[in-house]
Structure 1
Amino acid sequence: METTHDYVVVGGGSGGCVMAARLSEDANTTVCLLEAGGDGTGALINIPSGAVAMLPTKINNWGFETTPQPGLNGRRGYQPRGKTLGGSSAINAMVYVRGHREDYDRWANQEGCTGWSYQEVLPYFKLSEGNERIRNAYHGNQGPLNVSDLRSDNPFQQHYLNAARQAGFKITDDFNGEDQEGVGIYQVTQKNGERWSVARGYLLPNLHRKNLIVHTRALVQKIVFEGTRAVAVDVNVGGQVQRITARKEIILAAGALQTPQLLMVSGVGDAAQLQSLGIPVVAHSPEVGKNLQDHPDFIFGYQTQSTDNLGVSLRGSWRMLKEILRFRRERRGMLTSNFAEGGAFLKTDPSLSAPDIQLHFVIAMVDDHARKFHFGHGFSCHVCLLRPRSRGSLTIQSTSMADAPLIDIGFLNHPDDLEDLVKGFKMTQRIMQAPALAQWVVKDKFTAHVKTDDDIREVLRNRVDTVYHPTGTCRMGSDDKAVLDTELRVRGVQGLRVVDASAMPSLVGGNTNAPVVMMAEKAVDLIRGHSRVGSVDEPVQQASTHAQLMAAAPVA
């Protein structure tokens, strides 16, 4: 193993894959990427429907749990996180959503993150994106992250849209354009009907580079400091701990749960807590692990007789055999489904300037993250609160990265979150009970006896959990309490930067994978000291031109 590189990237998820691939474009720069999981390949990852085998298990998945949650009647929540090259982009529902423009303007104007306004980040979204269909000022078409329409051809998409129309909601075909509000079908990070993880888009086509070294099944133990400068990491590979040194920077991209854990076990965090565990303090940074945010999410579930929806039955088995053959021939059909095919961004109050709830319409019965089995076929609908007021925190229980962090997600701790979700519940129920969908329902599995607002509050506390968007535990900002500065550098030390969802100052109104890719693209320019996208006043032409030069290789 080569032990000295210019940059050492810890974590091969969305942020880490972008950083390793982009930094190694310079042949004179050496990059080492360390990933605790596998190589990001295989049928379960590449076939979109394979997610059903990974999400509820520990296949390519850390499978964390939270501490008991008072807001959830004492239940523990589930926090699946990708454990393979590509990170959570290798096990997620592949939904391509950026959030609302107001989210980034809030970062820049209210949360002290100069340089992160919507106008300034849009060019980086476009730089990363290779959208197959939508060609306008809001989208890129030549970037490494391929974005396509779904190829499942499922008729339930139209039932869902018709129900939304009947319930009085408008239809949209682009959640990432000028107006996010509306009901539609998600675009996904797929190519030719296969999952297009960030590893597949950015990293795997470039493994031939001599200046790019990737180690999988390599669990970083701690960051090594000389004084307050990060100079190396200790990593366990094959049962042996080795030290890998960085000449320029160490880049943490281990995600919103494990990046703060790694900082704390290495001596960056709240001094009193670290000292209580016998960890020498390198920098007192009490907000490490604080400010944890996630989208609280409730799922409606319905039993149906239709085999257009995924499920287990004798009729469904025969249908699935035909779908397997179709996938092999055409790369179309049920196996290309991301499950969460339909979406929506809606306002619980028409006076709001941006949608505050999001829907994921799923062509299968979902119960407890697919960890509870239901025989037969069904469909489901998630409703999540986009800008929760509740905040959680993360701490460590030992000095070892092999021990899971203690995750207090804080769901429904703020009373307004519960009341906003009650409104979101009622809006979603209007769509589910519209004739276009109601005609397919055999049984309402979870809400048949929910009649009053108090009934809704109780079922929310009994069933709400994550929709897989933890963020904010190493927030950036211009104030002294922020863990990171606005260039993603860790305050109080040198040579250490964070590029993942933990850096977000506040949660965006949507899925978080595309925003992390954007943040990583911007971080590359922050490190290099020059912009690849030109003036923020002319993002379209500059981003498109660069993306054509940097497009990843097509699928073999």
Structure 2
Amino acid sequence: MPEIAQTYDFIIVGSGSAGSVLAERLSASGRHSVLVLEAGGTDRRFFVQMPLGYGKTFFDPRVNWNYRAEPDPGLAGNEDHWPRGKLLGGSSSINAMVWIRGQREDFDEWRDAGNVGWGYDDVLPAFKALENNEAGADEWRGRDGPVHVSDLTRFVHPLCGRYIAAAEELGLRRNADFNGASQEGVGVYQITTRDGRRMSAARAFLRPAMKRANVRVETHALATRILFAGKRAVGVEYSRKGRSCQARAGREVIISAGSINSPQLLQLSGIGPGELLQGLEIPVLHHNSNVGAHLQDHQGINYTWKARTPTLNQNLRPWWGKLAAGSRYLLLRDGPLSMSMNQGGGFFRTDPSQTRPNMQLYFQAFSTVLPRPGERPILSPDPWPGFSMGLSNCRPTSRGSIAIRSNDPLAPPKIVANAFSTDHDVAEMLDAVKFLRRLAATRAMSEMIEEEVLPGPSIASDEALIEDFRRRSGTVYHPVSTCRMGPDAAGAVVSPRLEVHGVEGLRVVDASVFPSVISGNTNAAAIMTGWKGADMVLEDV
């Protein structure tokens, strides 16, 4: 028999980017008790807290779900690796920390699809309130919030200056703040760090909440199903240390398990495509074919060059370089280990007729053509000076899905990405990779390039370029929309109030509710969703 735990006002499943925010804000008044269930363990690990250490977490099963997508024809049959955070802070504890909100038009499209309260003017106050931006407060930035956003302009590698100058040669403008008046242009990325340590959602929100008597966080607690009385969610069944446990929710159950695990838990609980659930002998509580559907994700690729001048390869490859970088980090909390791999970046239009940027740029002052098995080779770059420029599509039109394979909660779900499954996405990426070569051919960049290493000059025709990016592209870890919000239950999983259609007492609050993918990294918008979701919960109780 399951062990019966006490009743809490709110049960939050998942301690990631949104769940951590919910835990802090729902408990802040002291009037409500909160239980947070996290399937993973602690975030107090050295390579989690050290910013560039996330290369060590890329395959680490102690902190990472290590999902694999189905073989994808759009990616030349590859089974793409999908890392997702399995620890306090969720994916905000293992991501690349780039702080991008998205474009005004992204959120206005959410609003115009019937999601009242989710337009840009509606979400901007939340973004400003949660942010402590080192660059200072202005019309767009906040300065008093819990999420510290660092401005690393003065610390980046000198090659970033070359990259920015090259983009300016091609007509892009220098942009000091991609979250300001306009996203378009090139510059240095702001990242979520403070004092040389990662500023995850756990550090910003969950750790302060855990000091309160009305908050309980259970780690290694895997939610197996939502408990219902009729069609009202009344609790959660979960597995912890080999025991089956239950907890009761006096007010609401909130699923914040992310774009893979949130639809998985709904389906395991009988909410989802009826035919799928019946085939797996799961009683159908509420048929909704949108659960797990509409998956959207950004696809990215890197081009790599051998340089005539030193890059970070020479700092981080040899043992003495590692020792120097490590000692500097331990003593001063700065240097290359205190930053992201993506120091420079930007947004551009592959076609001038586009009304806004449709492609994101990344600049990395090191290269990793020769990987080390079992590790994303951020800390083991190539033995020669090299650098990479990459890109990802901002608003792909390809759609995938998430579906459980069995009624076993431990079985990983089936991830179908369907990358580059539309002519639009293929044509857009073809234009984009050609732009990378135009960047490399500018005076600013060509002066310090020895040769192109990947894909290499022999890859020249459109057909060869397409074949190459199908073979070498992959997710940039921004899956969304698998529990998307909308006013009509026929096309959505949750309402604009984030309540699950067809049942009561149950919400989903995380990136899975995005009606469509935003133009850029999704962590900031996921945190904002947690912030606004908390407002809605407190308004409705």
Q: For residue 516 of structure 1, what is the aligned residue in structure 2?
A: 526
Note if 1:294 corresponds to 2:302: no
* Structural mapping, 1:24-423, within 5 Å: 24-109=27-112, 111-150=113-152, 152-304=155-307, 308-310=311-313, 316-366=318-368, 371=376, 375-376=382-383, 377-423=385-431
Task: Please tell me whether the aligned partners of residues 490 and 497 of structure 1 are also in contact (alpha carbons under 8 angstroms).
Answer: yes
- Tell me: CA distance 1:374–1:127, structure 2 relative to 1, closer, same or farther (3 Å): closer
Q: Separation in 2 of the partners of 1:409 and 1:294?
A: 8
TM-score, normalisation: structure 2: 0.94
- The SS at the match of 1:494 is coil
Q: Which of 501, 509, 512 does residue 499 from structure 1 map onto?
A: 509
- Tell me: CA distance 1:296–1:313, structure 2 relative to 1, closer, same or farther (3 Å): closer
Note if 1:470 corresponds to 2:479: yes
Q: Separation in 2 of the partners of 1:530 and 1:502?
A: 21
Q: Separation in 1 of the partners of 2:427 and 2:114?
A: 29
Q: For residue 432 of structure 2, what is the aligned residue in structure 1?
A: 424
Equivalent residue letter for 2:179: N
Q: Which of 446, 461, 469 does residue 460 from structure 1 map onto?
A: 469
Q: Separation in 2 of the partners of 1:512 and 1:241?
A: 34
Task: Please tell me whether the aligned partners of residues 311 and 378 of structure 1 are also in contact (alpha carbons under 8 angstroms).
Answer: no
Q: Separation in 2 of the partners of 1:437 and 1:370?
A: 30
Equivalent residue letter for 2:403: T
Q: For residue 10 of structure 1, what is the aligned residue in structure 2?
A: 13
Task: Please tell me whether the aligned partners of residues 261 and 396 of structure 1 are also in contact (alpha carbons under 8 angstroms).
Answer: yes
Identity among equivalent positions (%) equals 39
- The Cα RMSD (Å) is 1.9
Q: Separation in 2 of the partners of 1:515 and 1:136?
A: 19
Q: Which moved more, 1:360-369 or 1:22-31?
A: 360-369
Per-residue CA distance 1:176-224 (angstroms, 9 max, x = gap): 0111100010000011121110110111123210000001111111111
Equivalent residue letter for 2:246: R
Equivalent residue letter for 2:412: A
Per-residue CA distance 1:376-397 (angstroms, 9 max, x = gap): 2532222111111110011111
- The SS at the match of 2:343 is strand
Q: Separation in 1 of the partners of 2:178 and 2:221?
A: 37
| Per-residue deviation, 1:166 | 2.9
Q: Separation in 2 of the partners of 1:204 and 1:185?
A: 29
Q: Which moved more, 1:418-427 or 1:161-170?
A: 161-170
Q: Separation in 1 of the partners of 2:209 and 2:469?
A: 46
Task: Please tell me whether the aligned partners of residues 312 and 375 of structure 1 are also in contact (alpha carbons under 8 angstroms).
Answer: no
| Per-residue deviation, 1:120 | 0.5
| Per-residue deviation, 1:310 | 4.0
- The SS at the match of 1:51 is helix
The count of residues paired between Structure 1 and Structure 2 equals 529
Q: Separation in 2 of the partners of 1:113 and 1:415?
A: 29
Q: Separation in 2 of the partners of 1:108 and 1:471?
A: 17
Task: Please tell me whether the aligned partners of residues 311 and 386 of structure 2 are also in contact (alpha carbons under 8 angstroms).
Answer: no
Task: Please tell me whether the aligned partners of residues 153 and 332 of structure 1 are also in contact (alpha carbons under 8 angstroms).
Answer: no
TM-score, normalisation: structure 1: 0.91
Per-residue CA distance 1:135-164 (angstroms, 9 max, x = gap): 211011010111011274422222221222
Per-residue CA distance 1:393-452 (angstroms, 9 max, x = gap): 111111122111100011001111000111111112222333433344444232212212
Task: Please tell me whether the aligned partners of residues 154 and 333 of structure 1 are also in contact (alpha carbons under 8 angstroms).
Answer: no
Task: Please tell me whether the aligned partners of residues 364 and 379 of structure 1 are also in contact (alpha carbons under 8 angstroms).
Answer: yes
Q: Separation in 1 of the partners of 2:445 and 2:352?
A: 25
Equivalent residue letter for 1:73: A
| Per-residue deviation, 1:463 | 1.1
- Tell me: CA distance 1:217–1:143, structure 2 relative to 1, closer, same or farther (3 Å): same
Equivalent residue letter for 1:511: N
- Tell me: CA distance 1:380–1:152, structure 2 relative to 1, closer, same or farther (3 Å): same
Equivalent residue letter for 1:518: M
Task: Please tell me whether the aligned partners of residues 5 and 248 of structure 2 are also in contact (alpha carbons under 8 angstroms).
Answer: no
Task: Please tell me whether the aligned partners of residues 295 and 384 of structure 1 are also in contact (alpha carbons under 8 angstroms).
Answer: yes
Q: Separation in 2 of the partners of 1:313 and 1:197?
A: 25
- Tell me: CA distance 1:104–1:239, structure 2 relative to 1, closer, same or farther (3 Å): same
| Per-residue deviation, 1:311 | 6.6
- Tell me: CA distance 1:288–1:328, structure 2 relative to 1, closer, same or farther (3 Å): same
Equivalent residue letter for 2:519: G
- Tell me: CA distance 1:76–1:292, structure 2 relative to 1, closer, same or farther (3 Å): same
- The SS at the match of 2:80 is strand
Structure 2 alignment gaps of length 5 or more? none
Equivalent residue letter for 1:433: A
Note if 1:438 corresponds to 2:446: yes
Q: Separation in 2 of the partners of 1:170 and 1:375?
A: 31
